[in-house]
Structure 1
């Protein structure tokens, strides 16, 4: 009887442990939970590599779509991004499908600022660009302590997102995923 109880208890602990890992809560730089639909700056965790995320046209190509890169000024947090899930929950958890949309920013492309992935057929590289109307194609996964995460594209085979060394644009980079932190774009208490 004790053996059956021990096996049942062990099985329940393993199930709960796996559930906790799969649904880890994503935290911002203040240690607060990332709110579904909240606006955050996505800032590369590495110092000396530029500031937060921003938009730019790809050199030598048409001005649209807009590609994602980082600010040259390390003190600039970049453009705020709305992080949202279609799930009817208040907080964002690890591995939850999300959409990432730059806040309304004037742009010459006159297109939505939701993140999407497009392949560059001349190089074979896939880049993260704007132009989506907010499809849930990404998730956030913790990679280090102190609230440091990576962003993954989860459609198809899936891939980690990181900067491509040759052009400094965000794209598929499983060898060097971009470690990021999330900083509130607006004080939530001030909005209440």
Structure 2
């Protein structure tokens, strides 16, 4: 009887632990929970890796869509993004499907600024670019945030295609954001503005 009780207790602990990990609250650099619909700067976790995120055309290609790179100036936070989920909850948790959309800024492409994954047939790589609708129902536009370290350090993943999580990072060759499973980008989130939840 004690053995059955111990096994049941162990199973419940494992289930509870898995639930807690799966629903961990994502925190910003102030230690506050990321708000659903909040606006944040996405910054490299360590110095020496450039500043926040900004937009640029891909060299040698059409000027559109706009791709994502880092500010050269490490003191620049870049362009803020809105992080949102269709779930009717106030805060963002790990593994929650989200959309990421740059704040509306003038751009030559006249396209939405939602993130989406675009495969490049010439290189075989997949890049993260703008042009997404900003609604995380299409797998190429659905991202999630996962914790990878202490001190509120995270990575961004995409679950396009088969649903397998693929990590987002920068390609060394061109400095553009893309699917780089071997080298996920460690990031932190800094508040851009005080905004209310979507809920």
- SS of the counterpart of 2:96? coil
- SS of the counterpart of 2:12? helix
Distance of 1:63 and 1:72 partners within structure 2 = 20
> Where does residue 18 of structure 1 map in the other structure?
18
- SS of the counterpart of 2:175? coil
Distance of 1:40 and 1:5 partners within structure 2 = 47
Tell whether 2:133 aligns with 1:140: no
Unpaired segments ≥5 residues, structure 2: 137-141
The count of corresponding residues between Structure 1 and Structure 2 is 189
Post-superposition shift, 1:49? Answer: 1.7
Post-superposition shift, 1:39? Answer: 0.3
Task: Give the TM-score normalised by the residue count of structure 1.
Answer: 0.95
Post-superposition shift, 1:48? Answer: 1.1
Distance of 1:135 and 1:60 partners within structure 2 = 30
Post-superposition shift, 1:188? Answer: 4.8
What does 1:33-182 correspond to in 2, within 5 Å? 33-136=33-136, 137-156=142-161, 157-182=164-189
- SS of the counterpart of 2:72? coil
Post-superposition shift, 1:29? Answer: 0.3
Distance of 1:29 and 1:49 partners within structure 2 = 17
Unpaired segments ≥5 residues, structure 1: none
Post-superposition shift, 1:104? Answer: 0.8
Distance of 1:29 and 1:99 partners within structure 2 = 20
Distance of 2:175 and 2:10 partners within structure 1 = 48
Distance of 1:41 and 1:92 partners within structure 2 = 15
Tell me which moved more, 75-84 or 156-165.
Answer: 156-165
Distance of 2:89 and 2:56 partners within structure 1 = 33
Task: Give the TM-score normalised by the residue count of structure 2.
Answer: 0.91
Tell me which moved more, 140-149 or 3-12.
Answer: 3-12
Post-superposition shift, 1:17? Answer: 0.6
- SS of the counterpart of 2:130? strand
Distance of 1:109 and 1:162 partners within structure 2 = 24
Q: Could you give the per-residue CA deviations for residues 74-131 of structure 1, whole angstroms, max 9, x where no partner exists?
A: 0000101000011111111111110000011111100100000101111111100000
Post-superposition shift, 1:14? Answer: 1.1
- SS of the counterpart of 2:7? helix
